[in-house]
């Protein structure tokens, strides 16, 4: 740690040194067990006599802050270390806009026996061995200088082939920008395409982290209803410069945007000179249905930014997503990305390129898809037979979650308290409504729930909902 002694300041050098070491221990910057430098070394570093340092160390020892160990130097004791400072300094405050942002997930590392949160995947299916080997090879290649802000050409080529093959997206490596997840791609696109204060339309209900992001960026966010055909195009505000949609699997309702609605949305964007962000976050996992043609493929004017992620395909914490962007905004997106964090991590990119090129990703999607299909079926059956509360499930045709609509109002706070008692975690439907009162319901993710726990999870859910109903009576 750095210590600053100034002969021009009030107090002797010994007093200054004592005060700084004591403060470091009291605030936890020096933790219990940390070793102070030998007095000779510290005296040399600070340009003071060894006697001065020894005097300070013996005072701290006498007061119990440190203890001298024979041959082991001077060590911070546990007794007094880490006491909070009396007055936490509070000179800095976030702006109102930043202070209004709520964390989407307060405790992402929390676990529960029955984890029905959306946005999760089955990590036991992750091709760990292939990933380890690919990562080892990537690291053996050594360290890199700053890389291409759009991503390595090799990964961009692999992603372009993969997304063209699996989703029919019209992409070449030159149009791909590798990002830190879908959310980062959306952030870049919004910043490049809108000024603060302009209108951005989102689906209502919709994906909360994107609504928060837009508000943080100063957008005038407008909610547009969703019906059985997807976003209601006729309800778009004429001022919308940008429209954020999840057409292949509307979040959270699961509705697939009909072909006619897709055409209508593109027509609207053309007529109103607006941009569209197409978030295709989980449609690699499809159930009993033909693939849905991406908006990006139907786009003739270059108005669609197609966004995809490996969060569902592989693992969320890998933080890899990408955008396929029209050539007219590609340079601006890449320049902005470089201003923010220069480039994606190169070792991860090399390893991921290998995983895709060797067919591991395709094989994993097929294998995991079979598991998720079975799990989803079991969940739908268990809800049909095991839930006593009047309810409706919208099964959806892709992805890893289903919304559960209930007659009863569900207050998030009360629910999470009751759910915890039943070893249960569920997703909030309430939080996906940003512009009006939400209906009662939940969002149930089945990615992380082991298939053999589905029945137990529905029983726990039933018990939790029954308890909530009783409390409300
Ligand atoms: C609508 C939507 N978009 C994107 C994502 C994934 O985002 P990311 O790639 O940033 O993890 C999710 C994850 O649950 C989602 O529900």
Query: Residue 39: helix, strand or coil by DSSP?
Result: helix
pLDDT at 56: 94
Q: For atom 7 of ligand 1, which residue has the closest CA?
A: 182
Number of C-alpha atoms within 13 angstroms, CB side, residue 409? 8
User: So what's the pLDDT on residue 86?
Assistant: 59
Q: Could you tell me how many helices (H) and strands (E) the chain has, helices first?
A: 15, 16
Q: Which residues lie across from 306 on neighbouring strands?
A: 278, 324
What distance in Å separates the CA atoms of residue 298 and residue 461, rounded to the nearest whole number? Answer: 42
What distances in angstroms separate CA 286 from CA 97, 158, 207, 396, 469, one per listed residue? 38, 22, 20, 9, 35
Please state the atom number of ligand 1 nearest to the C-alpha of residue 182: 9
The rounded Å distance from CA 320 to ligand 1 centre is 11
CA of 183 to the centre of ligand 1 (A): 7
Count of CB atoms situated within 10 Å of the CB of 176: 26
Q: What is the pLDDT of residue 334?
A: 98
Beta strands across the sheet bearing 73-76: 35-36, 73-76, 66-69
Task: Tell me the angle at which helices 208-216 and 181-193 cross, rounded to the nearest 10 degrees.
Answer: 40
Indicate which atom in ligand 1 lies nearest the CA of residue 251: 1
* Residue 106, pLDDT score: 81
> Which atom of ligand 1 is least distant from the CA of 310?
9
The residue contributing the CA closest to ligand 1 atom 2 is 281
The 3-state DSSP class for residue 335 equals helix
DSSP 117-170: -TT---GGGS-HHHHHHHHHHHHHT----S--TT--HHHHHHHHHHHHHHH---
Q: Give the number of other CB atoms < 10 A from CB of residue 141.
A: 10
Task: Tell me if 293 sits within 8 A of 259, measured CB to CB.
Answer: yes
Ligand 1, residues 108, 203, 207, 352: which to mutate, most atoms within 8 A of Cβ? 207
Q: Which atom of ligand 1 is nearest to the CA of 207?
A: 1
**Closest protein CA for atom 15 of ligand 1:** 281
| pLDDT number for residue 81 | 55
CA of 117 relative to ligand 1 center, distance in Å: 13
Question: Which residues lie below 8 Å from residue 444, measured CB to CB, with a gap of 6+?
Answer: 116, 118, 379, 383, 401, 402, 403, 404, 426, 427, 461
Cα(308)–Cα(329) distance, rounded to whole angstroms?
A: 18
In whole angstroms, what is the distance from residue 121 CA to residue 313 CA? 8
Structure tokens at 131: 């990933």
Give the Cβ contact number of residue 130 at 10 Å.
18
The answer to whether the CB of 275 falls within 8 A of the CB of 242 is: yes
Residue labelled with tokens 């220069």: 342
Reported pTM: 0.89
282 Cα: distance to centroid of ligand 1 (angstroms): 8
CA-320 nearest atom, ligand 1: 9
| Contact status, residue 5 vs residue 46, Cβ threshold 8 Å | yes
Interstrand relation of 114-116 and 424-428 (parallel, antiparallel or unpaired): parallel
Ligand 1, pocket-test mutation among 120, 181, 182, most atoms within 8 A of CB = 182
* 281 Cα to the center of ligand 1, angstroms: 6
- Residue 307 has a pLDDT of 98
Pocket probe mutation, ligand 1, options 104, 178, 248, 279, max atoms within 8 Å of Cβ = 279
Phi, psi at residue 370, to the nearest 5°?
A: -65, -40
Residues having CB within 6 Å of any atom of ligand 1: 119, 181-183, 207, 246, 251, 279, 281, 309, 311, 316, 321
Give dist(CA 396, CA 246) in Å, integer: 13
pLDDT of residue 321: 98
The rounded Å distance from CA 425 to ligand 1 centre is 19
Span from the CA of 284 to the centroid of ligand 1 (angstroms)? 13
Give the pLDDT score at 8.
Answer: 85
Look-up of token digits 């309810």: 391
Gap from CA of 248 to ligand 1 centroid (Å): 13
pLDDT of residue 190: 98
- If one residue of 209, 323, 344, 348 were mutated to test the ligand 1 pocket, choosing by the most ligand atoms within 8 A of its CB, it would be 209
The number of the ligand 1 atom at minimal distance from the alpha carbon of 181 is 9
Q: So what's the pLDDT on residue 80?
A: 60
Q: What distance, in Å, lies between the first and last C-alpha atoms of the chain?
A: 59
pLDDT in tens, the chain (473 residues): 788 888 888 888 999 999 999 988 888 888 888 999 999 999 999 999 999 999 999 999 998 899 987 777 899 987 665 555 556 788 999 999 899 988 888 888 889 999 999 999 999 999 999 999 999 999 998 899 999 999 999 999 999 999 999 999 989 999 999 999 999 999 999 999 999 999 999 999 999 999 999 999 999 999 999 999 999 999 999 999 999 999 999 999 999 999 999 999 999 999 999 999 999 999 899 997 777 899 999 999 999 999 999 999 999 999 999 999 999 999 999 999 999 999 999 999 999 999 999 999 999 999 999 999 999 999 999 999 999 989 999 888 899 999 999 988 888 788 888 999 999 999 999 999 999 999 999 999 999 999 999 999 999 999 999 998 888 76
């Amino acid at each position: 740690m750095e210590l600053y002694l100034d002969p021009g300041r009030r107090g002797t050098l010994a007093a200054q040194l004592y005060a700084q070491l004591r403060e470091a221990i009291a605030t936890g910057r020096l933790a219990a067990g940390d070793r102070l430098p030998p007095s000779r070394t510290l005296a040399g570093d600070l340009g003071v006599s060894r006697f001065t340092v020894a005097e300070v160390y013996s005072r701290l020892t006498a007061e119990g802050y440190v203890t001298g160990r024979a041959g082991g130097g001077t060590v911070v004791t546990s007794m007094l270390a880490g006491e909070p400072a009396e007055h936490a300094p509070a000179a800095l405050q976030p702006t109102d806009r930043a202070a209004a942002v709520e964390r989407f997930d307060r405790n992402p590392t929390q676990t529960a026996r029955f984890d029905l949160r959306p946005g999760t995947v089955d990590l036991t299916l992750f091709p760990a061995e292939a990933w380890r080997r690919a990562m080892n090879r990537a690291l053996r290649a050594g360290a890199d200088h700053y890389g291409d802000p759009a991503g390595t050409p090799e990964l961009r080529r692999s992603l372009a082939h993969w997304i063209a093959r699996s989703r029919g997206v019209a992409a070449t490596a030159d149009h791909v920008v590798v990002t830190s997840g879908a959310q980062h791609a959306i952030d870049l696109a919004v910043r490049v395409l809108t000024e603060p204060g302009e209108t951005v339309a989102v689906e209502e209900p919709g994906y909360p982290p994107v609504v928060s992001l837009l508000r943080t960026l100063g957008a005038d966010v407008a909610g547009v209803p969703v019906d059985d055909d997807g976003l209601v195009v006729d309800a778009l505000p004429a001022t919308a410069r940008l429209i954020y949609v999840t057409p292949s699997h509307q979040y959270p309702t699961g509705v697939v945007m009909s072909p006619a609605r897709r055409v209508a949305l593109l027509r609207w964007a053309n007529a109103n000179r607006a941009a569209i962000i197409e978030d295709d976050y989980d449609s690699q996992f499809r159930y009993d249905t033909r693939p849905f043609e991406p908006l990006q493929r139907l786009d003739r004017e270059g108005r669609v930014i197609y966004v995809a992620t490996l969060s569902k395909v592989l693992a969320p914490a890998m933080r890899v997503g990408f955008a396929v962007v029209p050539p007219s905004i590609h340079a601006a997106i890449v320049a902005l990305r470089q201003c923010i964090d220069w480039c994606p991590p190169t070792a991860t990119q090399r390893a991921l390129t290998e995983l895709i090129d060797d067919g591991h990703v395709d094989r994993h999607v097929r294998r995991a898809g079979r598991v998720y299909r079975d799990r989803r079926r079991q969940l739908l059956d268990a809800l049909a037979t095991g839930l006593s509360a009047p309810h409706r499930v919208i099964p959806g045709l892709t992805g890893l979650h289903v919304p559960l609509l209930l007659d009863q109002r569900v207050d998030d706070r009360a629910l999470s308290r009751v759910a915890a008692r039943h070893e249960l975690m569920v997703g909030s439907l309430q939080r996906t409504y940003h512009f009006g009162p939400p209906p009662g319901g939940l969002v149930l993710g089945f990615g992380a729930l082991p298939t053999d726990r589905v029945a137990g999870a529905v029983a726990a859910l039933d018990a939790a909902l029954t308890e909530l109903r009783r409390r409300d009576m």
